[in-house]
């Protein structure tokens, strides 16, 4: 990883650390959204336990979507995004660095917080480990795909609701395989196959997203 990318990584991590309070927002959202379901449906632990994995995953997904909006926004607003596109290293590297920072401050904490939500929603014992594993594998995918959507909509005045519409379809395979992995775990079966699919999808997006994201950014900036 060359020097300018390292510098960018350090800068973004420092900015994130300085705004520590903001890092809590996706986590609080995650907690609140998950809590809505027992209130809206039933707190009966037997029923709640059946939908727990799905609720938690949808909550993580929505929390990630909310935080993606800011992926490129502040750099776009003060003009530094354009400067970054002129960096000697390929723009793909810059996108990867931003995705890494985003995952470190949102996806990873979400994955670590999930067991707590599992307890609150009555997730059966066998589900906890696959839940955390699928989140650890899945949230990077969400961040990578999200970068494409964020790149396409950065600078759009009415971009807010648009970006989720763009990437939600891409998220569906992640949701399907993650949820069924957890269900497998709850039933006592192996979920390795599901994890393997997620791993493969992660590898695919790891290659495609930076390219697509860079292209999206160039299109947005040129506008």
State yes or no: residue 25 binds other proteins (CB under 8 A). Answer: yes
Q: Would you list the DSSP string of 165-211?
A: HHHHHHHHHHHHHHHHHHHHHHHT---HHHHHHHHHHHHHHHHHHHH
CB of 146 to other proteins, least distance (A): 22
State yes or no: residue 35 binds other proteins (CB under 8 A). Answer: yes
CB 51, CB 37: distance < 8 Å: yes
Q: For other proteins, which residue of 5, 58, 85, 120 counts as binding (CB under 8 A)?
A: 120
Q: For other proteins, which residue of 43, 160, 193, 199 counts as binding (CB under 8 A)?
A: 43
Q: How far is CA 137 from CA 21, 46, 89, 160, 215, in A?
A: 26, 28, 27, 26, 25
Enumerate residues 6+ apart whose C-beta is below 8 A from 92. 210, 211, 213, 214
Q: For other proteins, which residue of 42, 83, 189, 190 counts as binding (CB under 8 A)?
A: 42
CB closer to other proteins out of 122 and 130? 122
State yes or no: residue 45 binds other proteins (CB under 8 A). Answer: yes
CB 211, CB 92: distance < 8 Å: yes
**Given the rule CB under 8 A, which of 37-45, 50-58, 145-153, 176-184 is the region that contacts other proteins?**
37-45
Q: How far apart are CA 137 and CA 186, in angstroms?
A: 19
Q: For other proteins, which residue of 3, 39, 86, 222 counts as binding (CB under 8 A)?
A: 39
Interaction site with other proteins (CB under 8 A):
19, 21-22, 24-25, 28, 31-32, 35, 38-39, 42-45, 119-120, 122
């Amino acid at each position: 990883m060359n020097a300018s990318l390292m510098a960018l990584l350090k800068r973004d991590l420092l900015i994130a650390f300085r705004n520590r309070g903001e890092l809590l927002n996706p986590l609080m959202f995650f907690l609140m959204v998950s809590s809505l379901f027992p209130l809206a449906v039933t707190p009966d632990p037997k029923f709640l336990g059946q939908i727990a994995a799905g609720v938690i995953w949808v909550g993580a997904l929505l929390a990630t979507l909310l935080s993606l909006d800011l992926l490129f926004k502040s750099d776009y607003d003060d003009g530094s995004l354009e400067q970054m596109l002129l960096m000697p290293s390929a723009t793909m590297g810059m996108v990867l660095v931003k995705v890494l920072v985003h995952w470190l401050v949102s996806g990873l904490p979400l994955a670590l917080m999930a067991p707590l939500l599992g307890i609150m929603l009555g997730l059966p014992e066998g589900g906890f480990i696959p839940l955390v594993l699928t989140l650890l594998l899945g949230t990077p995918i969400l961040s990578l795909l999200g970068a494409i959507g964020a790149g396409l909509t950065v600078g759009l005045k009415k971009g807010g609701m648009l970006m989720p519409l763009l990437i939600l379809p891409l998220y569906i395979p992640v949701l399907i395989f993650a949820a069924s992995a957890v269900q497998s775990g709850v039933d006592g079966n192996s979920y390795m196959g599901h994890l393997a699919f997620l791993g493969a999808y992660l590898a695919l997006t790891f290659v495609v997203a930076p390219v697509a994201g860079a292209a999206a950014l160039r299109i947005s900036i040129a506008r």
